[in-house]
Chains A and B, each alone.
Chain A
């Protein structure tokens, strides 16, 4: 009886691992597409706008230590990645009038971002089943949320001025670079879970 149950559990874990592996590959593939689109958007940032808005610079206190991908396990990396992409998606979905970006590029970027979020959610669901419990990443998610909260507050205080949006765009550049690092870490952790 115990052997039968053990055998069933092993089958479930193996199936989950297989599905998880496939899902992870999808996540990694999609993330690279998101990164590629975001790079296109970043490259379109006008330098003159940056120089004119130097007086509007703001330190939003990106939690670099918290989002350092090299000190967390795979489930933590997934949680941080998901939260950051979710916040970016919400920020751009609000149709913040960023003059530097064309609408077509923005729409493409949002579509890729949405697909990536779905893959990540599926992957996180499998991870939660394997670990037989909640992921326990609320603290990390809270730090990311607070960071993006500060960005929104700045935009509201600056009344969504052009310089405020330029400053936010520059800050998103830094945030996406951390997403790149998290993707790389996830790819490495996917090889050795």
Chain B
């Protein structure tokens, strides 16, 4: 009985250590068992270009007070402990300076404790190339008249995980521009040197229009994009700073253009000679140094008086081809030559009605020996005075009157006709110096000229003044001596002595019917 009683007493005592040890091993096993991957979930986020790993326990009933983070990679390497994330109370850790490869698989372990008690020991794999969530960066917008400045905040140093060896980033910055239903994407280039405030200008916008801007990062191979909240601005029309600058620039350009056009116009007009005519005439037209003038001197202007010519028909002495002295003109009935007077030679039809009867008889009864002379009016040959004589330069007065006593009949009565040719054509050789001329009165232009025929009797020189007024002028109208004879006083400066000798000098040399002076 005792043995059975002792056996019963020994069995419980032997079981206590076993149970104790079993319980001890059980607890230890529970502590040292591999982490349950399902107890935790990791979130890898790129926030403001910082790599933040946050976690959350799936069993929320367990709330540790402190956490410790460690990780390893799938290549042969030890456990890497993050010193900044040991015994932390927060449930996230900044791994920007720890993880440097996007293609590496990081096996991350989080141990949660409370006091000295470890409540959780969870791990999970993290593949940054696929698991990183890109949060949009911070940015600001500034709206102007027709453009918007987008200022994106970059860190002083971009994480080495995001920058490859050639400074190209694993990310792409996208700026989204929205206006109504129109969406436009802008992709500014960023690299490892992009730091600080990065400004991007969205230009060519419509003034007075509302635009909204959103910014986000787009990884190379990503399925999820997280956009930033929209920031909108209304572009104001004609902002002062912008409009004033543009107005100034426009004004300057306009003034410059106007000045250029004006200058070019002036230069062109000057070149073509429209303005500022040149004084440098061609050499051909330079007359300063010429010694001899090519052009003749123009005669001095003279007042020309319209005069009418009184034709006096004079017989031309016709030579009868004899040298007989008897036929000399001395034996001929020389018509009484007036002392300086005139001899009518039968100019028919020339005497107006106002003529005196005596003179009219003489006019209409010309010397029968004389052939009929054509009317001077029929052939109004321009009686051109001979070349300028020396006396003409002295006497510029055009009007003058001949007096009978100034002329000597150069032609004999019979032969005073200077006609030539046949009876059908009569050619006059009239010496202007031998015809009666008188100046027309301006007061009575319609008064027909009165021809005062000089009778065959000699006219006394003393009555020269009376004869002057009674002299009739015959001839064509408008016959004007281009070189009117100067006044009597100028014509015959030697008249005074000649007057006295006219009667005595009956044998004056008359030459060819002209009075020799």
Contact = CB atoms under 8 A, between A and B. Distances in A.
B220 A184 contact: yes
Contacts of B165: 68, 70
Given A51-B37, A170-B105, A59 B75 contact: yes
B74 A47 contact: no
Interface residues of A, number: 27
17 contacts: A42-B127, A47-B125, A50-B105, A51-B34, A51-B35, A51-B37, A51-B125, A54-B72, A57-B76, A58-B75, A59-B75, A59-B76, A68-B165, A170-B74, A173-B127, A178-B103, A180-B129
Interface of A: 35, 39, 42-43, 45, 47-48, 50-52, 54, 57-59, 68, 70-71, 167, 170-171, 173-174, 177-178, 180-181, 184
Interface string B118-141: 000001110101100000000000
Interface of B: 34-35, 37, 72, 74-77, 102-105, 107, 123-125, 127, 129-130, 164-166, 168, 220-221
A66 B40 CA distance: 38
A180 B221 contact: yes
Contact of A58 (B76, B105, B123, B127): B76
Given A57-B75, A70-B164, 6 more contacts: A39-B221, A51-B107, A51-B123, A58-B75, A170-B74, A173-B103
A56 to B, nearest CB: 10
A68 B165 CA distance: 9
Nearest to A65: B165
Nearest to A55: B76
A173 B123 CA distance: 20
Contacts of B103: 173-174, 177-178
Contacts of A171: 74
Contacts of B123: 47, 51
A58 B76 CA distance: 6
A35 B107 CA distance: 23
Contacts of A42: 127, 130
A181 B220 contact: yes
Nearest to B124: A47
A48 B72 contact: no
B334 to A, nearest CB: 117
Contacts of A174: 103-105
B6 to A, nearest CB: 50
Nearest to B164: A70
Contacts, number: 59
A76 B470 CA distance: 136
Which one of B35, B103, B166, B168 has the highest number of Cβ atoms from chain A below 10 Å of its Cβ? Answer: B103
B37 A173 contact: no
B37 A47 contact: yes
A47 B122 CA distance: 11
Nearest to B129: A177
B74 A45 contact: no
Contacts of B102: 177
A52 B34 contact: yes
A49 B107 CA distance: 11
Given A47-B124, A59-B75, A39 B130 contact: yes
A178 B165 CA distance: 14
A58 B107 CA distance: 15
Which one of B34, B72, B76, B221 has the highest number of Cβ atoms from chain A below 10 Å of its Cβ? Answer: B221
B34 A180 contact: no
A45 B104 CA distance: 14
Contacts of B130: 39, 42-43
Contacts of B104: 174
Contacts of B107: 50-51, 54
Nearest to A166: B74
A169 B429 CA distance: 147
A170 B72 CA distance: 14
Question: 10 smallest A-B Cβ distances: which pairs?
Answer: A47-B37, A177-B103, A174-B103, A170-B74, A70-B166, A59-B75, A47-B125, A57-B76, A180-B221, A50-B125
A73 B127 CA distance: 29
Contact of A70 (B35, B72, B127, B168): B168
Nearest to B127: A173
Contacts of A50: 74, 105, 107, 125
Contacts of A48: 37
A23 B299 CA distance: 104
Contacts of A170: 74, 105
A171 B104 CA distance: 9
A100 to B, nearest CB: 12
A59 B129 CA distance: 19
A173 B105 CA distance: 9
B221 A57 contact: no
A169 B428 CA distance: 148
B409 to A, nearest CB: 111
B76 to A, nearest CB: 5
A43 B124 CA distance: 13
B189 to A, nearest CB: 12
A56 B102 CA distance: 22
A120 to B, nearest CB: 19
Contact of A57 (B74, B127, B166, B168): B74
Contacts of A181: 220
Nearest to A68: B165
Contacts of B220: 180-181, 184
A189 to B, nearest CB: 13
Contacts of B168: 70
A70 B105 CA distance: 23
Contacts of B77: 57
A171 B124 CA distance: 17
B331 to A, nearest CB: 121
Given A51-B34, A54-B72, A57-B75, A45 B166 contact: no
A85 to B, nearest CB: 16
A176 B72 CA distance: 21
Contacts of B76: 57-59
Contacts of A43: 130
A58 B166 CA distance: 28
Contacts of B72: 54
A39 B129 CA distance: 10
